[in-house]
C-alpha cells in the first residue's frame, strides 16, 4: 500500500487571516508543471506583504524554493529526483499549489532551474526573487551590459559612470553589487551600516558610506565631484523604506537631473522605475489607493535578459557571486509564520532566511 503523503504549510484565507494547514492534499501539477517535494523555502517580505498590500489572497504563502522533482511531464527537460530551485507565479487569483512554504509545491517548468553542486540547497532556496529583482534593475532599467560581456568601445560602456546602490546590504543590494561588478561597472558607490563596509568592499563596492551619517549626501556628492559628476547617473534604492526621509528620497538627492532612478517599491516620485522579480507573465494586483485592479504587462525579452544574469550567478556561485548569509529555520509551522511576519513588519536585519521542510 502506498504511504500517505502529508502536506504542512502556511496560508492566508479569504478574510486575510494568516495560518497553518496540515492535510493530505498534495497539489496537482498542470501541463508543463513540476510537482516538487520542498526541502527549503526562501522567505521574502513579499510572502506576507503581497497579501496585505497587493490583494493577493486567499493563497498559500511563499515564492522561492529548493526541492526534489517527484513528478515531471513526459518529454520534460527535468527528471524525477532532480534537485531544482526557482520561484513560482504571483498575482491575484494565485492558486494554492504555487505556495512554496508547504511540503509539496507545483512550479511551472520554465520557472525552475537545476541546482548545480556549487550552489548549496539553502542558498538556492533564497536566490531567485532577489537576484532577478537586482538583474531587472541593472540589465533592463539601467540597461547595463550582462556579466562577462565586453563593453570595450561600445556605447554601453559604463566604466567611469558611477552607480549608487542605496542600502547595499539588503539581499537585493548584495546581488546588485556583485552583478554590477561582473558587468564592469566602476565606480560603485554604496550606502550601508558601517559594520558592513569591509564586506561590501570585498564584494565590489568602490566607495562605502554610512546611511545613518547626517553628512551622507554631502559625502557622496564630494566623491562624485572627484569623478566630474554633479550627481550620480545610475541610482538604485534597494531598501524601499516607507517612513521618515525615505531611502528613495535620499537616492534622488544624490542623483543628476537626467539620472535613471530605480526603487524596489512603488514611489510617489514618478521619476522612479520599479524592477520586478517576475516579468515573463502579466501580473494583476491591487495597489493601495487605487480602487480597481491593475495589470502590469509582461516584458518577455527583459525576463530572458534577467534570466541570463541569474544563470551567470548560478554558474559562478561561490566564486564570483554569493548570498553572504543564510539562516535556516527548522521547527513548527506556527513559528515559521511568526518569522515571516517579523520579516514583513520590521525586517530581520542582514541576510536571508531559509525554512526547512517538512515543517512540524
Q: Least distance in Å: CB of 152 to ligand NAP?
A: 32
The Cα–Cα gap between 341 and 347 comes to 9
Cβ contact 165:236 at 8 Å: yes
Query: Quick check: 103 binds ligand NAP (CB under 6 A)?
Result: no
For 188, residues 6+ apart whose C-beta sits below 8 A from its C-beta are: 162, 163, 165, 177, 180, 181, 204, 205, 206, 207
The Cα–Cα gap between 354 and 356 comes to 6
Counting beta carbons within 10 angstroms of the beta carbon of residue 342, is it exposed (0 to 12), middle (13 to 18) or buried (19 or more)? Answer: middle
Query: Quick check: 239 binds ligand NAP (CB under 6 A)?
Result: yes
- Residue 208 β-bridge partners: 190
Residue 176 neighbours by CB distance under 10 Å: 33
Query: Quick check: 284 binds ligand NAP (CB under 6 A)?
Result: no
Query: Quick check: 126 binds ligand NAP (CB under 6 A)?
Result: no
| Rg of the chain on CA atoms, in Å | 20
Distances 316 to 13, 127, 188, 216, 322 between C-alpha atoms, Å: 40, 13, 20, 33, 8
**Residue 252 CA to its chain's centroid (Å):** 22
Q: Which is nearer to ligand NAP, 104 or 113 (CB)?
A: 113
Query: Quick check: 100 binds ligand NAP (CB under 6 A)?
Result: no
Query: Quick check: 265 binds ligand NAP (CB under 6 A)?
Result: yes
Kindly indicate which of the ranges 59-67, 118-126, 150-158, 347-355 contains the residues binding ligand NAP, using the contact rule CB under 6 A.
Answer: 347-355
Options 93, 160, 331, 347; binder of ligand NAP; rule CB under 6 A: 347
Kindly indicate which of the ranges 127-135, 148-156, 310-318, 319-327 contains the residues binding ligand NAP, using the contact rule CB under 6 A.
Answer: 127-135
Q: Which residue is nearest to ligand NAP (CB)?
A: 167
Q: Which is nearer to ligand NAP, 172 or 314 (CB)?
A: 172
Which of left, alpha, beta for 237 (phi over 0: left; psi -120 to 50: alpha)? beta
Cβ contact 272:236 at 8 Å: no
Query: Quick check: 267 binds ligand NAP (CB under 6 A)?
Result: no
Which of left, alpha, beta for 331 (phi over 0: left; psi -120 to 50: alpha)? left
Cβ contact 109:128 at 8 Å: no
Query: Quick check: 51 binds ligand NAP (CB under 6 A)?
Result: no
Q: Least distance in Å: CB of 241 to ligand NAP?
A: 4
Check the CA dihedral 60-82-66-275 and report its sign.
negative
Query: Quick check: 99 binds ligand NAP (CB under 6 A)?
Result: no
All three cell numbers of 286, joined, read 491591487
Query: Quick check: 310 binds ligand NAP (CB under 6 A)?
Result: no
All three cell numbers of 358, joined, read 517538512
Kindly indicate which of the ranges 63-71, 287-295, 306-314, 346-354 contains the residues binding ligand NAP, using the contact rule CB under 6 A.
Answer: 346-354
Options 7, 38, 133, 279; binder of ligand NAP; rule CB under 6 A: 133
Options 87, 211, 234, 272; binder of ligand NAP; rule CB under 6 A: 211
Q: Which is nearer to ligand NAP, 327 or 335 (CB)?
A: 327
Query: Quick check: 275 binds ligand NAP (CB under 6 A)?
Result: yes
Query: Quick check: 201 binds ligand NAP (CB under 6 A)?
Result: no
Query: Quick check: 241 binds ligand NAP (CB under 6 A)?
Result: yes
Instruction: Build a one-symbol-per-residue string for 163-192: x at contacts with ligand NAP by CB under 6 A, - elsewhere.
Output: ----x-xxxx-------------------x
What is the contact surface with ligand NAP in residues (CB under 6 A)?
44-46, 129-130, 133, 167, 169-172, 192-193, 196, 211, 238-241, 247, 264-265, 274-277, 347, 349-350
Amino acid at each position: 500500500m502506498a504511504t500517505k503523503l502529508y502536506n504542512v504549510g502556511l496560508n492566508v484565507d479569504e478574510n486575510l487571516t494568516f495560518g497553518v494547514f496540515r492535510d493530505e492534499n498534495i497539489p496537482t501539477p498542470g501541463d508543463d508543471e513540476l510537482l516538487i517535494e520542498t526541502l527549503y523555502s526562501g522567505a521574502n517580505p513579499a510572502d506576507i506583504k503581497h497579501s496585505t498590500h497587493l490583494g493577493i489572497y486567499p493563497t498559500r504563502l511563499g515564492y522561492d524554493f529548493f526541492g526534489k522533482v517527484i513528478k515531471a511531464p513526459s518529454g520534460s527537460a527535468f527528471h524525477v529526483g532532480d534537485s531544482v530551485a526557482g520561484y513560482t507565479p504571483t498575482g491575484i487569483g494565485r492558486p494554492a499549489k504555487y505556495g512554496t512554504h508547504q511540503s509539496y509545491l507545483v512550479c511551472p517548468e520554465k520557472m525552475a532551474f537545476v541546482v548545480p553542486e556549487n550552489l548549496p540547497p539553502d542558498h538556492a532556496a533564497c536566490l531567485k526573487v532577489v537576484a532577478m529583482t537586482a538583474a531587472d534593475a541593472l540589465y533592463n532599467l539601467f540597461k547595463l551590459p550582462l556579466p562577462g560581456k565586453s563593453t570595450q568601445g561600445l556605447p554601453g560602456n559604463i566604466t567611469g559612470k558611477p552607480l549608487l546602490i542605496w542600502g547595499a546590504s539588503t539581499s537585493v543590494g548584495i546581488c546588485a553589487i556583485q552583478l554590477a561588478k561582473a558587468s564592469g561597472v566602476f565606480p560603485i558607490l554604496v550606502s550601508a551600516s558601517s559594520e558592513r563596509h569591509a564586506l561590501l568592499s570585498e564584494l565590489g563596492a568602490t566607495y562605502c558610506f554610512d546611511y545613518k551619517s547626517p553628512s551622507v549626501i554631502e559625502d557622496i556628492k564630494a566623491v562624485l565631484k572627484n569623478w566630474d559628476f554633479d550627481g550620480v547617473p545610475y541610482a538604485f534604492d534597494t531598501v524601499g523604506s516607507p517612513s521618515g526621509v525615505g531611502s528613495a528620497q535620499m537616492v534622488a538627492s544624490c542623483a543628476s537631473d537626467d539620472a535613471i532612478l530605480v526603487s524596489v517599491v512603488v514611489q510617489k516620485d514618478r521619476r522612479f522605475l520599479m524592477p520586478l522579480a517576475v516579468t515573463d507573465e502579466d501580473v494583476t494586483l491591487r495597489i493601495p489607493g487605487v480602487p480597481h485592479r491593475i495589470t502590469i504587462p509582461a516584458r518577455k525579452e527583459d525576463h530572458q535578459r534577467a534570466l541570463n544574469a541569474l544563470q551567470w550567478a548560478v554558474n559562478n556561485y561561490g566564486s564570483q557571486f554569493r548570498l553572504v548569509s543564510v539562516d535556516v529555520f527548522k521547527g513548527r509551522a506556527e513559528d515559521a509564520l511568526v518569522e515571516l511576519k517579523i520579516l514583513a513588519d520590521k525586517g530581520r536585519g542582514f541576510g536571508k532566511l531559509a525554512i526547512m521542510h517538512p515543517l512540524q
